[in-house]
């Protein structure tokens, strides 16, 4: 299974890339420009102190979407629509994991504020933009900080809240994400639950700022998970 991280050159995308590369998954870094994706591959090699990583490559978002089996969108809200429109012809009936969170930074505001979208959530916006392609949209990674992801020699002390309308797509996505050490996925129900989950992120950002941390996360207790 090939994992394509679209917009995978930022801290969140790179952190996800590194985590899956460490687990032996085949990963493709996608970017608006292929050269930037290739440069990100070199950065991952530097981070992991390896001269060669055979299960990692970089290319333009369109090519990454075409070649990947599972796609992970890791772009800010401002780039969400543009990125999705460029890859729309290549998503087919694949699984797309959307990590987008609508933060007020999109209009120059603080990251502790959530921007309400007409569609209800960023994930539902993705589903609307890609309607008719057959792609199965899953919302995940919204509440795991970039610092947690990039601290790749340590386990992540955080749950991953997952929502989506296709049960098999969620199952596949959760099995993949559960491979990241320390992370436990929790099925939160249909895609519309992303409206709640995404709003937790600005709260966590605010708490991290207040308590001078980069690793504030979320753990759900008291559930009997398989």
Question: Is 60 exceeded by the pLDDT of residue 15?
Answer: yes
Mind listing the domains of the chain with CATH numbers? 2-210 (3.40.50.720)
Band the pLDDT of 107: cuts 50, 70, 90. Answer: low
The count of residues in the chain is: 226
Of 101-110, 132-141, 212-221, give the lowest mean pLDDT range.
Answer: 101-110
Q: What is the pLDDT of residues 56-106, one digit of tens each?
A: 999 999 999 999 999 999 999 999 999 999 999 999 999 999 999 988 676
Q: What is the pLDDT of residues 204-215, one digit of tens each?
A: 999 999 999 999
Q: In what order do the strands lie in the sheet with 159-164?
A: 56-60, 26-31, 2-6, 70-73, 95-98, 136-139, 159-164, 184-187
The mean of the pLDDT values for the chain is: 94
Please give the pLDDT value at position 106: 64
Q: What is the pLDDT of residues 171-192, one digit of tens each?
A: 999 999 999 999 999 999 999 9
Angle between helices 11-22 and 34-48 (to 10 degrees): 60
């Amino acid at each position: 299974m090939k994992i394509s991280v679209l917009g995978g050159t930022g801290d969140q995308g790179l952190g996800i890339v590194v985590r899956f590369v460490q687990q032996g998954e085949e990963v493709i870094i996608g970017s608006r420009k292929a050269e930037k994706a290739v440069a990100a591959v070199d950065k991952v090699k530097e981070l992991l102190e390896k001269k060669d990583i055979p299960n990692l490559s970089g290319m333009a978002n369109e090519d990454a979407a075409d070649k990947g089996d599972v796609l992970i969108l890791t772009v800010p809200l401002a780039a969400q629509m543009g990125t999705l429109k460029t890859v729309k012809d290549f998503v087919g009936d694949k699984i797309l994991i959307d990590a987008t969170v609508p933060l007020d930074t999109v209009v120059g505001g603080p990251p502790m504020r959530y921007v309400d979208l007409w569609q209800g959530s960023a994930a539902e916006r993705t589903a609307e933009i890609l309607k008719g392609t057959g792609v199965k949209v899953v919302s995940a990674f919204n509440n795991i900080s970039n610092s947690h992801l990039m601290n790749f020699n340590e386990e992540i002390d955080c749950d991953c809240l997952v929502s989506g309308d296709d049960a098999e797509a969620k199952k596949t996505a959760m099995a993949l994400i559960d491979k990241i050490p320390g992370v436990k996925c929790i099925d939160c129900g249909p895609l519309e639950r992303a409206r709640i989950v995404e709003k937790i992120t600005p709260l966590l950002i605010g708490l991290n700022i207040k308590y001078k941390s980069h690793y504030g996360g979320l753990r759900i207790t008291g559930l009997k998970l398989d």
